[in-house]
DNA sequence: CTTGACCTTCCAGCTACTGGAACCCCTATC
DNA sequence: GATAGGGGTTCCAGTAGCTGGAAGGTCAAG
């Protein structure tokens, strides 16, 4: 299986797959012509990586998850813990963004948005006037 | 005003301020010894930038906002539009993260998280079994 | 005169790729 | 055999927005 086939199969761009090899997430064999030659197992790993990345796990977390995936003796608790940490991080990020959103909404709504120069958004950014609470 | 003073005043690290100069967001004067010499206006700009960045505006958006801030003839509509675009982006991001969070929660809850190797999270990542809907 | 805190520049590194150049390989067709 | 095309390969640079660190100049105090 060459790189474009495995790209197709895993849904990852060829560039990304080469990058994953560079950082040792996969180690495809090489043909006599120097082309990468991916096994079915490589393809599964790449699919696994694609799914993990799409769920927002970092590359290092993916590395951990992959090693757990390949370890038939792993404890599911170890996997759960990685996922739970990630989940907490996401939840935290959501809260931050929601706070941001509230602030921005207040600002956007307070600005009349016409041709005049007076603007509460700029006032807030400059810290010159108290923001509308 | 040297760099550590303006860092103190604006709440930005000195490194960041040097970086902002490098990308032409500020243009402090220079003393005879080569040290940067910040005016009050520079300090205000930096504070403005710090606040804008903390609200999640990109550097390029900050550049736009700063030029609007300095343009006494600007239309508040222009400012509002930049902020509104940003707000939409934030709202979108929140939705993405909420979807992610829901998926992860399902996965985390479905994993018993004990010493056994069986793990629905890995099953989902591998795509070998249907995820619990 | 030395010490220590400041300042300067420049280079490297972070995350996770992505684009592009320059070049090799393989197959098919004329 | 030449050529065209569609693969593949490597390596370098760039993205966003800093941040850390090295090497060295400057300044005020003791």
User: In Å, how far is B4's CA from the nearest CA of chain A?
Assistant: 20
Q: Note every long-range contact of B83-87, with CB atoms under 8 Å and residues 24 or more positions apart, other chains counting.
A: B83/A104, B83/A107, B83/A108, B83/A111, B83/A121, B84/A108, B86/A104, B86/B55, B86/B56, B86/B57, B86/B61, B87/A101, B87/A104, B87/A105, B87/A108
Average pLDDT, chain B: 93
pLDDT of residue B110: 95
**Cα B82 from Cα A126, distance rounded (Å):** 16
Task: Specify the DSSP element, H or E, that contains A128.
Answer: none
Cβ neighbourhood burial of A120 (10 Å; 0-12, 13-18, 19+):
buried
- Work out the angle at residue B130's Cα, subtended by the Cα atoms of residues B128 and B133, and round it to the nearest 5 degrees: 150
Structure tokens at A2: 């060459």
Torsion of CA A92, B98, A81, A7, to 10 degrees: -120
β-pair type (B36-37, A29-30): unpaired
Residue nearest to nucleotide C18 (CA to C1'): A15
Each residue's pLDDT tens digit, B40-98: 999 999 999 999 999 999 999 999 999 999 999 999 999 999 999 999 999 999 999 99
Tell me the residues of chain B between 79 and 108 that have a Cβ less than 8 Å away from chain A.
79-81, 83-84, 86-87, 90-91, 93-94, 97-98, 100-101, 103-105, 107-108
What is the four-CA torsion angle of A11, A16, A19, A20, rounded to 10 degrees? -30
- Report the gap between the CA of A19 and the closest CA in chain B (Å): 20
- At A129, is the pLDDT very low, low, confident or very high (cuts 50, 70, 90)? low
Q: Which domains does chain B have, with CATH numbers?
A: 1-58 (1.10.1660.10)
On the 0-12 / 13-18 / 19+ scale of CB atoms within 10 A, A7 is buried
Return the axis-axis angle of helices B76-110 and A76-110, rounded to nearest 10°: 160
Mean pLDDT of the region B119-125: 95
- Nearest beta carbon to residue B126 from set A69, A86, A104: A69
Over its C-alpha atoms, chain A yields an Rg (Å, rounded) of 24
| pTM (whole model) above 0.95 | no
Inter-chain residue contact B126 with A101, CB threshold 8 Å: no
CB pair distance less than 8 Å for B76 and A117: yes
Mutate to test the interface with B, among A114, A122, A123, A130 (most CBs of B within 10 A): A122
Q: Å between A38 CA and D13 C1'?
A: 28
**A 38-77 residues inside an 8 A Cβ radius of B:** 44, 47-48, 51-52, 55-56, 65, 68-69, 71-77
Using CA atoms, how far apart are residues B129 and B133, in angstroms rounded to an integer?
12
Distance CA A115, CA B80 (A): 11
- pLDDT at position A127, please? 81
CA distances from A66 to A50, A55, B78 (A): 11, 14, 48
Contact B114 A77 (CB under 8 A): yes
- The bases of strand C with some atom under 7 A from any protein CB are 6-9, 15-19, 25-26
Each residue's pLDDT tens digit, A53-101: 999 999 999 999 999 999 999 999 999 999 999 999 999 999 999 999 9
């Amino acid at each position: 299986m060459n790189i474009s086939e495995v790209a197709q199969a895993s849904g990852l761009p060829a560039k990304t797959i080469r990058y994953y090899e560079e950082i040792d997430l996969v180690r495809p064999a090489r043909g006599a012509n120097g082309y990468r030659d991916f096994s079915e197992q490589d393809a599964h790993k790449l699919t696994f990586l694609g799914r993990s990345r799409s769920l927002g796990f970092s590359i290092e977390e993916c590395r951990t998850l992959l090693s757990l995936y390949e370890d038939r003796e792993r404890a599911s608790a170890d996997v759960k813990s990685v996922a739970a940490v990630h989940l907490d991080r996401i939840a935290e990020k959501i809260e931050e963004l929601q706070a941001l959103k509230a602030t921005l909404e207040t600002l956007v709504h307070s600005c009349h948005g016409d041709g005049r120069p007076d603007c509460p958004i700029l006032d807030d950014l400059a810290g010159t006037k108290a923001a509308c609470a």
